A and B are shown apart, each in its own frame.
Chain A
Amino acid sequence: MRLLSLCCLAFLVVGCQTGIPEDALALKPDSLERRQRESRRFTGGKEADILAACSGVGQDMGFTIDESETKLGVLVASKTREASDAGSRFAMALLFGGNAANSMDKSQKIRLCIIVKPVAGKEGQEWVVRATFQRMVWNSYGQLTRLEGLSEPELYQQFFEKLSKSVFLEAQKI
């Protein structure tokens, strides 16, 4: 009984507390590496043209534009897609039952943010484009199962390959 009352008191003390992780707003040792992975330098053109090329790539990949502020070189886009295909969910349901299939990831919202910034000392000539992806994943019960930034190098590599083509197409007005 005493244990129960202690447990209740412990709940009282910690029940309403939520704490932000200590390093949530601190720079981490891998910040520079991440910046390099997420950024590429482009020469020539105007800032608005680079941003237009970025929006073109976003559209190529099925993103819809949520927000833009050309004066600050900001473009934000998102897309909602299936997180696992219907076939694997069906197989899961067949093997382990409906509950197991429903707890699998079902849909995901992927957000993409592209920032174009003039290179210091070379304003009007060179630009740094930095792209960041993040996603939210839900299961079939509608529960949010994952909140994460995407850091796979291949993702950024492919994105910038597409962007290089888009910048070229934009320059040629194709």
Chain B
Amino acid sequence: MITRLCLLAAALVLTGCVHNSTESALEVGSNQVQLRQIQSRAFDTTDKTKTLRTVISTLQDLGFVIDKADLELGSITATKLDGYALRMSVTVRPRNAKQLLVRANAQYQEAAVTDPAPYQSFFSSLSKSMFLTAQNVD
């Protein structure tokens, strides 16, 4: 019985992480709406350029090196190397007439970061630099 259990467990160990790797391309996290809430905050400003510049300096404070920046699209991509590779994209776009929506998504090594805690840390650092409160969005 134990031998069978062992064999079963060993087989699962070998195949547990195997899946069709092309499925990753269109993979969406467990809950798309929840993920957007975790990754987004609204700020009471309409100054896109200043917000993007603040995002850049916050990322630098956190040890990131900027990879790409685009004012038109409102996007910044950066990478942090500290024994690991952490890549992050931040987009800034108007939410309404008085607010901007900042969304960040991170990739740690080869996996998407879906845990809320790192995003809370990021937005807390960003709101300190912006002198504005990061507001949760519904």
Contacts and interface: CB of A to CB of B under 8 A. Distances in A.
Contacts of A2: 2
A136 B106 CA distance: 20
B71 A71 contact: yes
Contacts, number: 131
Contacts of B83: 147-148
Nearest to B62: A25
Interface in B96-121: 106, 108-111, 113, 115, 117-119, 121
B81 A148 contact: yes
A174 interface: no
Contacts of B63: 34, 149
A9 interface: yes
Given A12-B9, A27-B61, A115-B56, A72 B49 contact: yes
B130 interface: no
Contact of B118 (A1, A4, A24, A147): A24
A154 interface: no
A11 interface: yes
A147 B53 CA distance: 26
B46 interface: no
B57 interface: yes
Interface string A39-59: 000000000000000000000
A12 B13 contact: yes
Nearest to A74: B69
B108 A24 contact: yes
Contact of B57 (A5, A26, A130, A135): A130
A38 B60 contact: yes
A55 to B, nearest CB: 15
Contacts of A152: none
B35 interface: no
Contacts of A149: 63, 65, 80-82
A8 B119 contact: no
Interface stretch (A15-23, A97-105, A162-170): A15-23
A106 interface: no
A1 B53 CA distance: 59
B132 interface: no
B24 interface: no
A130 B80 contact: no
11 contacts: A1-B3, A16-B17, A18-B109, A20-B115, A24-B80, A69-B68, A71-B71, A74-B66, A112-B65, A134-B79, A147-B83
For the complex of A and B, list the 8 residue pairs with the smallest distance between their C-beta atoms, beginning with the closest.
Answer: A8-B9, A147-B81, A69-B69, A74-B69, A20-B108, A26-B121, A25-B122, A25-B121
